[in-house]
Amino acid sequence: MALPLDYDQPRAATVDVAVLRVKAKDQKRRIGSLFVNPGGPSLPATDFALEMSESLSAEVRDRFDIVGFDPRGVGASTKVQCFPSAEQQAEVLDGLLATVFPVGPVEEKATVQGAKAYGKACSTTGKPLAGAMSTAEVARDMEVLRRAVGDPKLNYLGRSYGSVLGQFYANMFPERFRIMALEGVLDPQAWVGSNTDQSLRERLRAGEATHRSLSELLTRCAQVGGTHCALAARNPAKRFDTTANRLRAGPLELAGKNGTRTFTYAEFINMIIDALLAEDVSDTTSLVADVETAVAGGSAEALLRRLESAETAAGDEGAEVEYDHGFDAFSSVLCTDALHLKDAEAYAASAKRAERTAPHFGLLWAWNEPHCARSTWTVRDADAYTGPFDRRTAAPVLFVGSKFDPLTNFDGVVAASRRLPNSGLLSTNQWSHAAYGTGQCVTTAVDRYLLTGKLPPKGKVCADGPQPFTEPLAATGTSAGERGATGPATSDPRRKSLLPRVMRAG
């Protein structure tokens, strides 16, 4: 569907927005369309609509058409492109993303240089679309599509960054939705920002979310003991910290079947995030135990199995270079929406500040968007929305938050729900970034809200979601390294969405 590039000039240039609808199975009892968005920003919602048409509860699936549209610049919609060719983009990304995150002045310098080149490209070659991809524009697109499918009011389910889109819509069009369920929630006020001395990830306290997630897991590890947790002996938190600091002092050189490879501190920290997002979060502690053994001079076999499995899953490094439209799209939303630090060099100080409250993980997340620095990313969207985010809506909004979500800080969903007057919060004591479908309590409550518009009781906490260390280690019949071999591949967090591995781009 062709929509205005700039809603101030509705008859001028347009962008094509891809839309997919899966019709309700029970058309006679159909409530309307349920728009869905998986987040990112940069993930195609058309794919997510197909997935949700199978994974939503039967009654929800029976009574709603499931609608997903790829936001402008994303997926099958008109793509944003910041470089003339894939080779030119790859050359800059090789500098910006040379490491998972930079450690020390040499790596920081390379990252800053890559950030400046990337921001310049998106602010010139990437125009005009790179400057017209703010979340406000996507919310306006969703309003047009809501009318196009014939629904009197919007029904919406958004996850992760999709929660930002939902909150923008709720505040821009507070009278125009029937239900809005949001999980993996980001605080939109922190997302947009007002403090020029803080980076986006500092405001969101993303590092603190990951640190809280791991800290609770290590506490539980100590409580269950060695029969259920490979890291339980002595002090699990101290063992993790010691292992991480040894790697930070110098990488490991590992001799694997594909030759010698270097294993770095940054890779390890990123692997921890992937492990915390896995279906069985317990394996995180087995990963730490495998790395600890290798760092201490013991066998590296288990660690190598994990790394080789990850490399196999990542594909052929010798394959032809393809253009990464996903990273352009991710950046065009992130850099256009929010207030960022003035200069790319300032992210080194931001990382140091974040490290004080979130050791190891603050450093990773603080370096997430140096290419968004205001002097680097100069293209702007004059129609970006910056608030307010406390409008009284005609219908209630349901927020869902997992206390130990490793990507989005639980404090953020609490703040967002308190700020929006007509809303409710359903919380759960699990690690899942997206809790719907993981336990009967959350799933039943969300289904009831989608179907009837009724919020769960105030203060409702679900406690039947997945928990770690429910099975003894011996039950799997494999070593820690063998269990990890089927786990998530290592990947750069700046190429990730904010969603679990199975849903994210890059």
Spell out the domains of the chain, with CATH numbers in brackets.
2-76+135-193+386-462 (3.40.50.1820), 207-320+470-503 (no CATH)
Tokens, residue 74: 């994303």
- Residue 153 backbone phi and psi in degrees, to 5: -145, 155
For residue range 374-383, list pLDDT tens digits in order: 999 999 999 9
Name residue 169's amino acid: Y
Euclidean distance between CA atoms 371 and 257, whole angstroms: 37
Tokens, residue 38: 């998986």
For residue range 281-297, list pLDDT tens digits in order: 999 999 999 999 999 99
Average of pLDDT values for 225-237?
Answer: 96
49 neighbors 36 (Cβ within 8 angstroms): yes
- Mean pLDDT for the chain? 92
- Residue 93: the pLDDT is 95
Residues 274, 277, 282, 285: is their CA dihedral positive or negative?
positive
For residue range 52-105, list pLDDT tens digits in order: 999 999 999 999 999 999 999 999 999 999 999 999 999 999 999 999 999 999
Average of pLDDT values for 158-175?
Answer: 98
For residue range 19-62, list pLDDT tens digits in order: 999 999 999 999 999 999 999 999 999 999 999 999 999 999 99
Euclidean distance between CA atoms 433 and 110, whole angstroms: 32
- Residue 350 backbone phi and psi in degrees, to 5: -60, -40
- DSSP 3-state percent helix, strand, coil across the chain (nearest 5): 45, 10, 40
For residue range 397-425, list pLDDT tens digits in order: 999 999 999 999 999 999 999 999 999 99
40 neighbors 329 (Cβ within 8 angstroms): yes
Euclidean distance between CA atoms 432 and 183, whole angstroms: 10
Euclidean distance between CA atoms 37 and 498, whole angstroms: 12
Q: 0.95 cut: is pTM over it?
A: no
Euclidean distance between CA atoms 44 and 80, whole angstroms: 13
Tokens, residue 496: 């990730």
For residue range 441-498, list pLDDT tens digits in order: 999 999 999 999 999 999 999 999 999 999 999 754 434 444 443 333 333 333 334 4
Euclidean distance between CA atoms 47 and 44, whole angstroms: 6
For residue range 299-346, list pLDDT tens digits in order: 999 999 999 888 777 665 666 889 999 999 999 999 999 999 999 999
- Residue 459: the pLDDT is 95
